[in-house]
């Protein structure tokens, strides 16, 4: 066996979020042994929703969890864009048969816990996967043959390679890229999940609905077999510092939305237990690899949520890294470079377009908003399918772009 190969050591993954667990499943299915090192005392996800484009379903199938993933999803009929000042519909993209036929899979919304649970169950059932909690990776060392991950406890774990799937504040990225703190966007997002009966009856649409207003927007969609509604509202208030999951009152949330239509404001009043995040992203970079160490998911390409693609991209990464290492187990550096090449441009495009969508679709005011309405109203669903084909079409392995 050459010194570049996996030898008999496991693959280490720092982070047991959606990206880390998806990668563990993909790699274990290729026959590799995997150790997942998760910082938290238990594995789980925050209680909120997530949208999944057809490309997420292509990834589920490639990772062998298609049936389980399809079972937990709510299949929505439309992506609906409302003007938050007038409460009039701007456009609605049909997600029915024509959409599914075009992209070979549906668009869906799911509870994060359910999505994470699909991968967690697959990991727990797989004899090749060792899940370790309370295991924060703080640093690593490597030789030509192996990587040693150092944990916060002082313990060390040896592997053939280390995948940094440790999210926005990745410690592994600090070493691989060293580009400092994430960029604070100044956008404050508030999340709430409510029972469906608390959602105003005339707004219980089977759609992912976006109410776009000046420097603010509201998103809602059903979850968990229609038992719940996910509410996500965002206010571009130039918040200066990152915040994650701080409880806030409904009055604080409403304060950023006094200028929007009463119908849009009423959605916020129906929320409960609001929590606040100040969103961050990063500039795209290409250097995701340091010898036997590589980045995946938000650690590699954190993005604003406006394209609803962060988790979808993490799952595509998982498909690609499993494919690359499966094809070249004898040559880890070449396999990691092949993975990076497949992912870097595509994910950079999603990072940059997520910002652009925020600026030009979600938050414009005045003439900018009028132009948005005119341009977006003039397009048919078929037009939108054409714009989205690069993202939703093909599967993760079709995008060798770097």
Name the residues that contact ligand FAD, by CB under 6 A: 14-20, 37-40, 50-51, 136-137, 165-168, 171, 189, 232, 277, 279, 297-298, 305, 308-312, 314
Q: Minimum Å distance from CB 87 to ligand FAD? A: 23
User: HSE of 328 in the Cβ direction (CA atoms, 13 Å)?
Assistant: 13
Residue 313 vs 329, nearer CB to ligand FAD: 313
CB of 370 to ligand FAD, least distance (A): 27
Minimum Å gap between C-beta 207 and ligand FAD is: 14
Toward ligand FAD, which CB reaches closer, 103 or 277?
Answer: 277
**Residue 43 gets which letter from DSSP?**
-
CA distance 205 to 229: 10
- Which residues lie across from 83 on neighbouring strands? 212
Q: Which of 380, 378, 361, 377 has its CA nearest to residue 369? A: 361
Judging by beta carbons within 10 Å of its beta carbon (0-12, 13-18, 19+), is residue 92 exposed, middle or buried? middle
Query: 199 vs 276, which CB is nearer to ligand FAD?
Result: 276
Nearer to ligand FAD (CB atom), residue 10 or residue 19:
19
Q: Which is nearer to ligand FAD, 54 or 310 (CB)?
A: 310
- For the CB of residue 113, give the shortest distance to ligand FAD in the complex, in Å: 12
DSSP 251-299: HHHHGGGTTS-HHHHHHHHT--S-EEEEEEE----S--EETTEEE-GGG
Nearer to ligand FAD, 264 or 276 (CB): 276
Secondary structure percentages of the chain, helix, strand, coil, to 5:
40, 25, 35
* d(C-alpha 147, C-alpha 130), whole Å: 17
Q: Which is nearer to ligand FAD, 79 or 264 (CB)?
A: 79
C-beta closer to ligand FAD: residue 275 or 372: 275
- State in angstroms the smallest separation of the CB of 320 from ligand FAD: 14
Give the span between the Cα atoms of 23 and 345, in whole angstroms: 20
For residues 131 and 22, what is the distance between their CA atoms, to the nearest angstrom?
Answer: 13
- Which tokens go with 139? 């640093």
**Among residues 37 and 62, whose Cβ is nearest to ligand FAD?**
37
Shortest Å, Cβ 371 to ligand FAD:
26
Task: Give the shortest CB-192-to-ligand FAD separation in angstroms.
Answer: 12
User: Which of 229, 219, 207 has its CA nearest to residue 108?
Assistant: 207
For residue 5, the 8-state DSSP code is S
Shortest distance in whole angstroms from residue 293 CB to ligand FAD = 13
Q: How far is the CB of 39 from ligand FAD (least distance, A)?
A: 3
Cα of first residue to Cα of last residue in the chain, in angstroms, is: 30
Question: Among 237, 234, 236, 238, which Cα is nearest to 264's?
Answer: 234
């Amino acid at each position: 066996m050459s010194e570049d190969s996996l030898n008999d050591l496991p693959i280490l993954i720092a982070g047991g979020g959606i990206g880390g667990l998806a990668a563990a499943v993909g790699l274990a299915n290729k026959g590799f042994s995997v150790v997942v090192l998760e910082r938290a005392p238990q594995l789980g996800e925050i209680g909120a929703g997530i949208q999944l484009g057809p490309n997420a379903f292509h990834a589920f199938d490639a990772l062998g969890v298609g049936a389980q993933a399809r079972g937990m999803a709510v299949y929505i009929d439309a992506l609906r864009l409302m003007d938050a000042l007038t409460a009039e519909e701007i456009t609605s993209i049909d997600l029915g048969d024509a959409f599914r036929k075009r992209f070979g899979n549906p668009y869906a919304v799911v509870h994060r816990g359910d999505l994470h649970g699909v991968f967690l169950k697959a990991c727990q059932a797989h004899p090749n996967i060792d899940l370790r909690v309370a295991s924060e990776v703080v640093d690593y060392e490597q030789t030509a043959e192996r990587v040693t991950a150092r944990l916060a406890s002082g313990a060390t774990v040896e592997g053939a390679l280390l995948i940094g799937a440790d999210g926005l504040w990745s410690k592994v990225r600090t070493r691989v890229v060293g580009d400092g703190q994430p960029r604070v966007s100044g956008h404050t997002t508030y999340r709430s999940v409510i029972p469906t009966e608390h959602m105003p009856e005339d707004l219980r649409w089977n759609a992912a609905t976006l109410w776009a207003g000046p420097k603010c927007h509201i998103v809602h969609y059903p979850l968990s077999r229609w038992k719940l509604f996910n509410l996500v509202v965002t206010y571009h208030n130039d918040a200066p510092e990152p915040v994650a999951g701080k409880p806030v009152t409904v009055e604080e949330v409403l304060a950023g939305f006094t200028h929007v239509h009463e119908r849009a404001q009423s959605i916020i009043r129906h929320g409960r237990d609001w929590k606040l995040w100040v969103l961050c992203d990063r500039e795209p970079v290409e250097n995701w690899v340091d010898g036997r160490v590589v980045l995946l998911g938000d650690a590699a390409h954190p993005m604003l949520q406006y394209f609803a693609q962060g988790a979808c991209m993490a799952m595509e990464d998982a498909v690609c890294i499993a494919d690359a290492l499966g094809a070249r187990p004898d040559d880890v550096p070449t396999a990691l470079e092949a993975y990076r090449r497949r992912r870097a441009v595509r994910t950079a495009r999603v990072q940059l377009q997520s910002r652009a969508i925020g600026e030009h679709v979600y938050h414009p005011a005045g003439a900018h908003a009028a132009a948005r309405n005119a341009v977006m109203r003039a397009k048919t669903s078929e037009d939108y399918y054409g714009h989205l084909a690069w993202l939703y079409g093909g599967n993760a392995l079709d995008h060798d772009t770097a």
